[in-house]
């Protein structure tokens, strides 16, 4: 038996942070497409259950067109069960607004609900303020069954935090869980729960911003002879990549540009790239950030973030008796912050060089 564990689809996300209006619209469509592609994959790979561990939608208000595409996808494959747990973003509006719930769309509620299959029992609960303390005591699983448990929230070790979103892993130990299918964390993460089981966040299907970099996809579970094998399947249409570059060794901007362009060649141009300049640079390095962005414009999206700092010390200009040397010594000796000093020195040097400010 094969099962897909996915989560955090955030359908209908706005996507406007970095992208143009047209690209944001396109990415929004792509996220929905990736969900549909995943369901097609399930069909062609003999998957019979898809667990959606929360945050299927980004906001409680779901566009009618999105809702009907999701419903069509679900009803297109009646032999696949969709086990849906609402997360902290989507609440239960999607289900409540349905005239008729398709028979293969099965829903977890605020009490433990179990869906039984010959090879596995899948049990889940939606966290709420009312149940967050009692749910651990009310979970009863048989050691003789293969058990998947579905929840949405942030794992924590103690019971001290107050948020209803916290899942206390310690209290799920020795509960006969074989696989804890989680949603909430947007990157694939797996760890040992106890001697018997593992916990796993599937992550989101598509990264939306540069806080969601790296491979995104779903987890494919293969159940065979009473054991669960799990495998992360990268599935996103586009990946967001953060590329840190230490510019310390470079005094020539064009050599640095060549270096960055060569590094960027490792990634497909369909992806979204953020180059982060780091390290300490000398005054001699003249930066042309817009030109670098232009050179990376073959990517679906590219931007350059400059986090590098100017490395000039009083020793560097100790013997410089020019106005420039005096100016730098004055600024370095002032009470300005490090970034203010950097800005002031750069502006001052440009002014001394006769450039427009
Ligand atoms: Mn989420």
The residue assigned the tokens 């817009």 is: 290
Distance 342 CA to ligand 1 centre (A): 39
More confident residue, 283 or 196: 196
The pTM of the full predicted model, rounded to 2 decimals, is 0.88
Which range, 125-134, 136-145, 310-319, has the best average confidence (pLDDT)?
A: 136-145
User: What is the rounded CA–CA span in Å between residue 231 and residue 242?
Assistant: 25
CATH number for the domain formed by residue range(s) 2-234: 3.60.21.10
Distance 329 CA to ligand 1 centre (A): 50
Token reading at 67: 């809702």
| Among the ranges given (114-118, 286-290, 320-324), the one the predictor scored with the smallest mean pLDDT | 320-324
Strand order in the sheet with 121-124: 113-116, 121-124, 147-152, 179-183, 198-201, 189-192
Distance 150 CA to ligand 1 centre (A): 14
Strand order in the sheet with 301-306: 240-246, 272-278, 301-306
- From residue 126, alpha-carbon distances to 86, 104, 123, 172, 217 in Å are 7, 19, 11, 15, 23
Distance 144 CA to ligand 1 centre (A): 33
A 10 A CB-CB count for 131 gives 17
Pick from 234, 184, 187, 191: nearest CA to 211: 187
User: What is the rounded CA–CA span in Å between residue 103 and residue 78?
Assistant: 8
All CATH 3.60.21.10 domain ranges of the chain, comma separated, are 2-234
Distance 10 CA to ligand 1 centre (A): 7
Predicted local confidence at residue 152, as pLDDT:
95
Across the range 145-154, mean pLDDT stands at 96
Cα torsion 67, 73, 77, 83: sign:
negative
Distance 152 CA to ligand 1 centre (A): 9
Residue 24 in 3-state DSSP?
helix
Distance 160 CA to ligand 1 centre (A): 23
């Amino acid at each position: 038996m094969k099962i897909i564990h996915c989560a955090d689809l955030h359908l209908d996300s706005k996507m406007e942070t970095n992208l143009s209006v047209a690209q944001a619209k396109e990415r929004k469509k792509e996220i929905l497409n990736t969900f549909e592609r995943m369901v097609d994959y399930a069909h062609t790979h003999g998957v019979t259950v898809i667990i959606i561990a929360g945050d299927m939608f980004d906001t409680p208000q779901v566009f009618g067109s999105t809702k009907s595409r999701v419903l069509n996808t679900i009803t297109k494959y009646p032999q696949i069960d969709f086990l849906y747990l609402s997360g902290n973003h989507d609440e239960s509006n999607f289900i409540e607004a349905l005239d008729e719930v398709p028979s293969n769309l099965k829903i977890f509620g605020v009490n433990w609900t179990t869906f039984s299959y010959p090879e596995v029992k899948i049990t889940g609960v939606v966290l709420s303020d009312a149940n967050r303390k009692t749910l651990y005591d009310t979970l009863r699983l048989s050691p003789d069954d293969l058990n998947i448990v579905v929840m949405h929230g942030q794992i924590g070790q103690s019971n001290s935090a107050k948020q209803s979103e916290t899942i206390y892993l310690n209290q799920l130990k020795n509960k006969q869980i074989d696989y804890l299918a989680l949603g909430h964390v947007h990157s694939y993460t797996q760890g040992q729960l106890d001697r018997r089981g593992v916990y796993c966040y599937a992550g989101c299907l598509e990264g939306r911003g540069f806080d969601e970099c790296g491979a995104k996809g779903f987890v494919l579970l293969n159940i065979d002879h009473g054991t669960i094998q799990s495998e992360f399947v990268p599935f996103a249409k586009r990946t967001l990549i953060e590329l840190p570059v230490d510019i310390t060794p470079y005094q020539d901007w064009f050599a640095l540009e060549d270096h960055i362009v060569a590094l960027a060649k490792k990634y497909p141009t369909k992806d979204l790239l953020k180059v982060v300049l780091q390290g300490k640079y000398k005054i001699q390095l003249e930066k042309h950030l817009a030109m670098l962005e232009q050179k990376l414009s073959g990517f679906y999206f590219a931007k350059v973030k400059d986090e590098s700092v100017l490395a000039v010390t009083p020793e560097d200009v100790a013997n410089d008796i020019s106005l420039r040397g005096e100016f730098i010594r004055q600024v370095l000796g002032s009470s300005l912050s490090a970034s203010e000093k950097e800005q002031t020195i750069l502006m001052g040097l440009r002014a001394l060089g006769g450039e427009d400010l």
